[in-house]
Amino acid sequence: MARMSNMARQEMYYDHFYGMNEITERIEAVQAEDVQQVAREFFIADHIAVTVLGNLSGLKLSRDQLDC
């Protein structure tokens, strides 16, 4: 039932069913430069916030360390 649901969802959203070979090929086609471009687009240093849990003694973190 899960497989049929997945197939129907792909047909509705993409008008195409993506088989395992096609998915694997598309994943393997991603290059490091592609990932870096997306990181530059979405991770803007001025908009990054940090949440830290645990023992914070000795922790020193500057905005420069958050820059992509």
- pLDDT tens-place string over residues 4-58: 999 899 999 999 888 899 999 999 999 999 999 998 898 887 787 788 888 888 8
Number of domains in the chain: 1
Q: Quick check: 67 pLDDT over 90?
A: no
Domain that holds residue 33: 2-66
Query: pLDDT digits over 44-66, tens only?
Result: 877 877 888 888 888 888 877 77
* Distance in Å from the first CA to the final CA of the chain: 42
CA distances from 39 to 7, 12, 45, 52, 68 (A): 30, 29, 11, 21, 7
